[in-house]
Amino acid sequence: MSADGFQTLIHAKIRLALHPLEDRPGPRLLLLHGLGQRSPKQTPNEIRDWPGSVFALDFTGHGASTIPRGGGYTAELLMGDADAALEKIGPATLLGRGLGGYVAAMLAGARAQLVRGAIVCDGPGLAGGGTEPGKSTGPIVADSTDRAPDPFALLELATDLRPPDYASTFARQALAGSTATPPVTVCALERPEWLTAWLGSPAATPGTLADALRRYAQMQ
Amino acid sequence: MTDPHDHDADAEHVVYPGARRADRRRSVDSYGIEIAVYEWGDRDAPVLLLAHGGFDFARTYDVFAPMLADAGWRVVSWDQRGHGDSQHAALYSWGADGRDALAVLDSTTDTPVAVVGHSKGAGVTMDLVHGLPERFTRFVNIDGLPSARPQPDVSDHERTRMAARTTAAWLDHRRAIASKSRRPGSFDELAKRRGRMNPRLSIEWLRYLVSAGARHDPDGWRWKLDPSMRFGGFGPWRPDWSLRRMPKFPRPMLALLGMMPEEMGSGLTPDDVRPHLPPGTQLEVFSDTGHFIHIEKPREVADLVLRFLRDSNP
């Protein structure tokens, strides 16, 4: 545990900051922040009734996690970040805002046995960079910095492409392997096409955050 | 039993007919990642960029590049991040490789240049030419054209299981790589391992590659390639996207296809690619050659490239 109260996880060459916000027996909840944001220092009000432990993860290039040199971000890399947190804390419900919601949904498919329900909420980076590239794809250039959030993360993850059929592959994986019903709950009002693809599958349903938390807590 | 010391004394002196080390070696800082750059030929000659394929390195051009340099070009190649003598990065992506390539180009000249790319290196540089046509004059694609591989003929259920296995394997790899290093072996073991990926290349050439692309550690030889890299994977990119814009490619193109099936090859046929090629593209098919056309037939490919560079109008 660091002096700032977070645990350090190793994901490949990245040191990730995992913040334990509540330490209680019972179901685990992992918070995944939006693009350019960082973990909250305290448990947000809307999840204070969660009956078990609450953790929050700083993604690569965000918060207290490593800022790598030279960029190279993908949403899949961030899915690996969240998976490293699951390896540490065990099976958990995921609550993602914006970009964290996209990552939570992907991981609900890719680690269907470990994700005990994923909740997708509005926040920065929910839409990504659309469903296909523009007519001309040129290189994105940012300046390196030692301060979070990494400008490369902001640029590369804001233009991250999310075709609906790609999102659907994760929805099918979640449906095939998850013990949560439904595997994903969508609280977000914004509905980018990747999220509409999820909602077109039985793997996701719209719902309120309070209901989703209650349902997934009982399932664990 | 591995003898870590075999051939270590003479690795520096492994030779291959026609292979010539770069005339100059320098480094470029690409947003904090140190990129190793190699040059053959006269400093004042027109620049020709060479981009290597995935899991390769610039010195795989040690035979091909001197042929181009001797014909009057300043040939510039580089080890992509995590490959050869370039720095291992924390993150890798197609976009990052494009930025690194542009950093090398910026460090070389601000005059438009011709570019040759092999395999993944062709794909990355094709994107650069699309995005920044004013920086390029002509383009040679060596067995790196985009393809829309047909989906395997399996049920949706089985397809979902295959995708799940792929993503789970990738995540498992990510969990394990912090403590991983490349497997050591003797000098000749590394050459033989590489031969499994490149079954058509001679053992003499593979040994030469080990001398350039591996390092000698106390417990044996290891490829310099970042151990965090692995074949395969997944992502949102759709081959259709590349195919759709290829007819609008903004510069003259020479495209080479190797037809002999290989693990690293694309498996594309001329009929697969012809409908998508930009008008005027020169397509050359090597029916008896694999994915590494420029290594199997360096003289023939060099002559084709030189003729194309001479005759095409930028």
Task: List strand residue ranges (DSSP E) for chain A, in order.
Answer: 7-11, 14-22, 29-32, 54-57, 92-97, 115-121, 184-186, 204-206
Q: What is the structure's pLDDT at B5?
A: 44
Q: Are the C-beta atoms of residues B55 and B80 closer than 8 Å to each other?
A: no
Whole-prediction pTM value?
A: 0.94
- Smallest Cα distance from B216 to chain A, Å: 23
Average pLDDT of the segment spanning A38-45: 97
Q: What is the pLDDT of residues A95-116, one digit of tens each?
A: 999 999 999 999 999 999 999 9
Nearest-CB residue to B235 (from A74, A112, A152): A74
CB–CB contact B164 A71 (8 Å)? no
Q: Return the H-helix or E-strand segment holding A176.
A: helix A164-177
* Structure tokens belonging to residue B286: 């090597």
Per CB-CB distance under 8 Å, the chain B contacts of A87 are 175
Average pLDDT of the segment spanning A16-41: 97
Task: Give which of B160, B179, B243 to mutate to test A binding, by max A Cβ within 10 Å.
Answer: B160
CA A95 to chain centre: 7
Give the domain A7-125+145-219 fold. Rossmann fold (3.40.50)
CB–CB contact A139 B32 (8 Å)? no
Per CB-CB distance under 8 Å, the chain A contacts of B175 are 11, 83-84, 87
Going from N- to C-terminal start, the domains of chain B cover: 19-147+238-311
Q: Which residues contact B194 (CB under 8 A, 6 or more apart)?
A: B201, B206, B209, B210
Interface of B with A in 250-289 (CB under 8 A): none
CB–CB contact A12 B32 (8 Å)? no
Burial of B138 (0-12, 13-18, 19+ CB in 10 A): buried
Task: Report ipTM (2 d.p.).
Answer: 0.93
Q: Identify the CATH homologous superfamily for domain B19-147+238-311.
A: Alpha/Beta hydrolase fold, catalytic domain (3.40.50.1820)
Q: What is the structure's pLDDT at B4?
A: 42
Instruction: From B22, B21, B36, B29, select the one nearest B82 (Cα to Cα).
Output: B36
Task: List strand residue ranges (DSSP E) for chain B, in order.
Answer: 24-30, 33-40, 47-51, 74-78, 113-118, 136-142, 214-217, 220-223, 253-258, 282-286
Q: Are the C-beta atoms of residues A157 and A60 closer than 8 Å to each other?
A: no
Query: Hunting for tokens 């490789």 — which residue is that?
Result: B97
Kindly state the DSSP code that residue B248 receives in the 8-state scheme. G
Q: What is the structure's pLDDT at B311?
A: 95
Q: Residue A85: left (phi > 0), alpha (psi -120 to 50), or beta?
A: alpha
Residue B264 confidence (pLDDT) above 90: no
Written as one string, the DSSP assignment of B49-70 is EEEPPTT--GGGGTTHHHHHHT
Spatial distance between the Cα atoms of A215 and B29, rounded to a whole number of angstroms = 51
User: What end-to-end distance do the CA atoms of chain B give, in Å?
Assistant: 56
Residue B276 confidence (pLDDT) above 80: yes
Interface contacts A/B by beta carbons within 8 Å: 132
Spatial distance between the Cα atoms of B262 and A125, rounded to a whole number of angstroms = 40
| Beta bridge partners of residue B253, listed in sequence order | B139
Per CB-CB distance under 8 Å, the chain A contacts of B131 are 136-139
B98 in contact with A, Cβ within 8 Å = yes
Instruction: From B66, B5, B45, select the one nearest B221 (Cα to Cα).
Output: B5
- Smallest Cα distance from B192 to chain A, Å: 28
What percent of chain A is predicted at pLDDT more than 70? 95
Burial of B88 (0-12, 13-18, 19+ CB in 10 A): middle
Residue B1 confidence (pLDDT) above 70: no
For chain B, give me the number of helices (H) and strands (E)? 10, 10
Number of C-beta neighbours around residue B149 at 10 A: 10
Nearest-CB residue to B174 (from A72, A80, A136): A80
Q: What is the pLDDT of residues B208-232, one digit of tens each?
A: 999 999 999 999 999 999 999 987 7
Q: What is the pLDDT of residues B125-147, one digit of tens each?
A: 999 999 999 999 999 999 999 98
- Smallest Cα distance from B208 to chain A, Å: 31
Q: Which residue of chain B comes nearest to A136, CA vs CA? A: B131
- Place A171 in a pLDDT band, splitting at 50, 70 and 90: very high
Q: Which residue of chain A comes nearest to B245, CA vs CA? A: A135
Going from N- to C-terminal start, the domains of chain A cover: 7-125+145-219
| Beta bridge partners of residue B282, listed in sequence order | B254
CB–CB contact B241 A60 (8 Å)? no
Nearest-CB residue to B31 (from A71, A76, A136): A71
